[in-house]
Amino acid sequence: MKVSFRKRIVHMVAAVWIAAIVLPTGVQANSDSTAYPDVPTDYYASQEITVLKQKGIVSAAEDGSFHPDDAVTRGDAALWLSKALKLNKPKSLNAFTDVKVTSPYAEAVNSLKEQNIVQGNEGLYQPDSPLTREQMASLLVRAFQLQDNGIQAWLKDETTIGKVHHDDVMKLKQNFITEQLEFMPQNQVTRAQLVLFIYRTLSQKEETAQGLVSLDDFVRMPDKVSMRLSPDSKTLAYLQPWENRMNVHIQKVGETQSTRITSSKDENIHSLIWITDKILIYTVDSGGTENQHIRAVHIDGSGDMDLTPYTNVKSDLLDILPAKEESDFELLLTMNKRDPKVMDVYRVKLSTGDTKLQIQNPGNVVYWQTDNWGEIRTAIARDGDTTSLLYREDEDKAFDKITTFDAKDTFIPVMFSFNNEQIYAASNVGRDKQALVKFDPITKKETEVIYENDEVDIDNFIVSYKKKAMLAVSYETDDMKMHYLDKEFEELSHKIEAKLNTRHWNLVGSPDKNLLLLYSGSDKSYGTYYLYDRKADKLDKIDDIHPKIDESKLADMKPISFKSRDGLIIHGYLTLPKGVAPNKLPVVINPHGGPWARDSWGYQMEVQLLASQGYAVLQLNFRGSTGYGKAFLHAGDKQWGKAMQNDITDGVNWLIKRGTADPERIAIYGTSYGGYATLAGMAFTPDLYAAGIDYVGPSNLLTFMNTIPPYWELNRSQMVQQVGDPIKDKKQLEMVSPLLHASQIKSPLMIVQGVNDPRVNRAESDQMVEALRKLDVDVPYMLKRNEGHGFQKVENERDFYQALIHFLNQNVKNKKKPA
């Protein structure tokens, strides 16, 4: 078993590359035990050798020592693997002529052969031969069924790997079993190195089952979601998994049996809307391209028809035109079929799919609005920095530009008044917070403020066509709240709150029905659907969305706030792991996407997953977030990587100062703009974060601004105002583009991207990975070819979250402190 001194040096150098492995929580060696007399406690693989010895997987040589730096034989490798896999005794002991039935390796080798894990060569196994690193890769991949998870593995010596072993070596790299830049495929594996590789593989298999709730439970598709009640209140429609994809199912009210009426095997169905008592429409895109198709289907599953059967066309429902007969129903759809940059309005017959152009976009309209009879009478147009309201009295007349708004103002027509004469709009014109107002298109003036909140923008409203009145307006501070405009509806709402024992519920559909569909959720639950019979004052539970999740094991999401360095109040949410003292915790900073969006209180799967794994999660509504008024939104203008990033940094320091965060174990992870904030944090505050995960984030603001999808083109001036002009602001954008400062990144980084992403081009991730690899910095780069701006398919979500957990655990939670 002895090898030359030169080979020992090679093995020891190789061991340095893989010695960064750490013991996951819950898999510890007994502190008072030692493995073998020739394995000192400070040896790089001492703990791992001890653990595998305690598990009965590895054993000493004949002299009682372990000889960690000696080459491991193929026989010992088989013996250790069979024990790690807990294989049954083989049916036969004669698979190989050079492994006699009396050999100590006979059972192990033959068991592995029966499982197709070892193959041999011309009937020989060669049990006394040393194991090479590429042979080890194939053994581990077959033994533990390691799969291609989409990570684009990179090895500097990839061309030296034997063809038969190449894919297996790459799978080892994809699954974080090896992390070095050079694999040295023909080198012999030492006994200590094989222990590390087996230990790491076993740990990864166990890792996702750790935590209060397993990864499998978290990523399992919801049982029933997007539930809708038919116009006649007799049938429920919802999305439910079939063949690992969300499909439309229907269920009679009062019954428990359901019927699947769609058969989408490739893509998830995203949303559904009742058109008549017998017909629904639903939406589906292809591979994350966001070129959404709108399809119609009857409740018996017949007549499934694509109403928008066009390639590379984005479609949306604008309105449903009133009709007396089911066969006469028509839809108004917006599509960029004629010109990729703009959305025209088309009239589509529901029964046949016959389509005709209803109104052609003049080239500057970004938003259309119909009146109560489905006539298109208002629109919002953009001409450079100018935003205008267009109006016409009826469809026989041309549109007139009736008012123009400041570049920082928002005015969104949401519906016409019940006499079709005035416009209800969400507006912050002349005020800081967005309010629900009435606007007279004849006098061109705001005539009434329906509701305005002093702290935040309005969020939504509830309208009764039966009463011809606004019933309530919702707004969001720390969580969603309601301002009532109708006494009867307020009393009804409080009655429902008392029955549900929570104020966190929403009405799904019209408030005018006798039978109301309700949704109730929380920060620890996907939620539950109910039916409430107003006349009988009876509440019936339909179903939980995700009954497999045990709410008692999940963590509380608490609202927080602090002052930024320049005095702005920053709001957000802190989720602490359940049952752990909130002191010196590993932390994940999770900036939201958009950035013109906000984080909200409620159930968020990945936040609960991270908390279940022992992380505190901080979410921040940094300046530039929506919902907090015009001044706060535009305080983020041209502040990517600057004041917006400072708000995130200030949040980290606030968490450190209060003692919650361990300053050595803080990660940053975000999607879209949150991915950019991750890269910016890693490049511009490199000592703050132990690791980062960028998920579909822009890396270079110059290239990002030049690759936006065509249907964003009319909003380019708004993006220039808020991000920067690639020409006029070139120096500033270069200064805050992480790609151009890649050499400043110190900590481990992982990048995740969908090939078909229309919002953040794949090149944004490619170029960041390439820049770091040129600096000899390895970056796990997960690239999924059938996804877009965020993964939608359950198998891809599982690959991502499994990699995320391992990457964070290794580099943050279980990070080894410098000696």
Active site residues: 672, 757, 789
- Residue 181: CA count within 13 A, CB half-sphere: 9
Question: In sequence order, what are the residues at sequence separation of 6 or more whose Cβ sits closer than 8 angstroms to the Cβ of residue 362?
Answer: 381
- The tokens for 143 are 């033994």
* CA distance readout (Å), 204 to 97, 123, 200: 35, 33, 6
Q: Coil, helix or strand for 369?
A: strand
Q: Which of 274, 279, 262, 264 is nearest to 227 (CA)?
A: 274
Q: Are 750 and 671 in contact (CB under 8 A)?
A: no
Q: Which of 206, 807, 211 is nearest to 555 (CA)?
A: 211
Q: Are 267 and 285 in contact (CB under 8 A)?
A: yes
* CA distance readout (Å), 736 to 212, 642, 681, 684, 693: 39, 7, 11, 8, 18
Instruction: Report the C-alpha gap between 556 and 754 in whole angstroms.
Output: 31
Q: How many helices (H) and strands (E) does the chain have?
A: 18, 35
Q: From the CB of residue 807, how many other CB atoms can be counted at a distance below 10 Å?
A: 21
Q: Are 589 and 637 in contact (CB under 8 A)?
A: no
Q: Are 818 and 787 in contact (CB under 8 A)?
A: no
Q: Are 425 and 412 in contact (CB under 8 A)?
A: yes
Q: From the CB of residue 358, how many other CB atoms can be counted at a distance below 10 Å?
A: 19
- Residue 248: CA count within 13 A, CB half-sphere: 27
Element (H, E) at 191: helix 191-207
CB burial class (10 A; 0-12, 13-18, 19+) of residue 770?
middle
Q: Are 663 and 616 in contact (CB under 8 A)?
A: no
Q: Which of 415, 424, 316, 315 is nearest to 373 (CA)?
A: 415
Q: Are 190 and 136 in contact (CB under 8 A)?
A: no
Q: From the CB of residue 410, how many other CB atoms can be counted at a distance below 10 Å?
A: 18
Instruction: Report the C-alpha gap between 572 and 419 in whole angstroms.
Output: 42
Instruction: Report the C-alpha gap between 243 and 223 in whole angstroms.
Output: 13
Instruction: Report the C-alpha gap between 715 and 130 in whole angstroms.
Output: 64
- Residue 587: CA count within 13 A, CB half-sphere: 27
Q: From the CB of residue 78, how many other CB atoms can be counted at a distance below 10 Å?
A: 27
Q: Are 334 and 343 in contact (CB under 8 A)?
A: yes
* CA distance readout (Å), 535 to 34, 336, 492, 529: 74, 46, 11, 19
Q: Which of 322, 326, 227 is nearest to 278 (CA)?
A: 326
Instruction: Report the C-alpha gap between 337 and 345 in whole angstroms.
Output: 10
CA 680 to chain centre: 19
Tokens 């006469």, residue?
A: 328
Q: 572 - beta bridge partners?
A: 560, 620
Q: 247 - beta bridge partners?
A: 240
Q: Residue 639: what residue type?
A: Q
Q: Which of 337, 319, 339 is nearest to 395 (CA)?
A: 319
Q: Are 598 and 639 in contact (CB under 8 A)?
A: no
Q: Are 543 and 530 in contact (CB under 8 A)?
A: no
